[in-house]
């Protein structure tokens, strides 16, 4: 049994091959044992032979195999459909988890299954910076958040943000924000008060 709620809508989308529904549900055909995307160019099966599923995985778990014509594994949102965006998103996620604080860019590229050069190219095309520059910027943003929201000593903030030396932390902070950590730590009201 499927978990869909409006089979009439899905039926209409299937019969009209409405691209707006591509990736939102999948059609399994009982008589062939195949599941498809709603935009599949194959002849439309009889409604009594059709089952609707919310995901490709769900159809596969019910014993249906993917269609070779419409490739349901490449529906919108799937890794195949996202292409290089999948690698880029995974790289961003690993960097935000601190991957480049512990390893190098070539090690990250190897973990992603791509070359160091390709990874750098992805970042340059998408963000206009290298993976390391992105990682340092994320570390600085985290440190800035800690400076605003906590009273931790600046040295503790530096280490919490993944820096191994205070000097490196201060240099990166100045380079990224054109401010020192102390200037960021000051409350706006304090910086506007006249000195006595």
| Residue 75 zone, left/alpha/beta (φ > 0; ψ -120 to 50; rest) | beta
Strand order in the sheet with 34-36: 50-53, 26-29, 34-36, 65-66
Given the residues 13, 27, 29, 40, select the one marked as catalytic: 40
129 is catalytic: no
67 is catalytic: yes
What would you measure as the largest C-alpha separation in the chain, in angstroms?
87
Apex CA 103: angle with CA 101 and CA 104, to 5°? Answer: 105
Given the residues 50, 70, 105, 136, select the one marked as catalytic: 70
36 is catalytic: yes
Given the residues 13, 56, 59, 67, select the one marked as catalytic: 67
Given the residues 27, 29, 34, 36, select the one marked as catalytic: 36
Residues involved in catalysis:
36, 40, 67, 70
């Amino acid at each position: 049994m499927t978990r869909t709620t409006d089979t009439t809508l899905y039926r209409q989308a299937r019969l009209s091959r409405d691209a707006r529904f591509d990736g939102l549900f999948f059609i399994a055909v009982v008589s062939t044992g195949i599941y498809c995307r709603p935009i599949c160019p194959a002849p439309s099966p009889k409604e009594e032979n059709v089952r609707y599923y919310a995901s490709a995985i769900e159809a596969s778990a019910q014993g249906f195999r993917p269609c070779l014509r419409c490739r349901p594994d490449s529906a919108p949102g799937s890794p195949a459909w996202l292409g290089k965006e999948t690698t880029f998103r995974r790289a961003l996620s690993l960097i935000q988890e601190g991957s480049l604080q512990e390893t190098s860019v070539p090690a990250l590229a190897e973990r992603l299954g791509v070359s160091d050069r390709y990874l750098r190219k992805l970042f340059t095309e998408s963000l206009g910076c290298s993976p390391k520059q992105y990682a340092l910027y994320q570390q600085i943003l985290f440190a800035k958040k800690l400076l605003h929201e906590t009273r931790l000593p600046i040295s503790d903030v530096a280490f919490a943000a993944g820096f191994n030396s205070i000097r490196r932390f201060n240099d990166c902070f100045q380079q990224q924000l054109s401010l020192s950590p102390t200037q960021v730590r000051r409350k706006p009201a304090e910086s506007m008060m006249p000195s006595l």
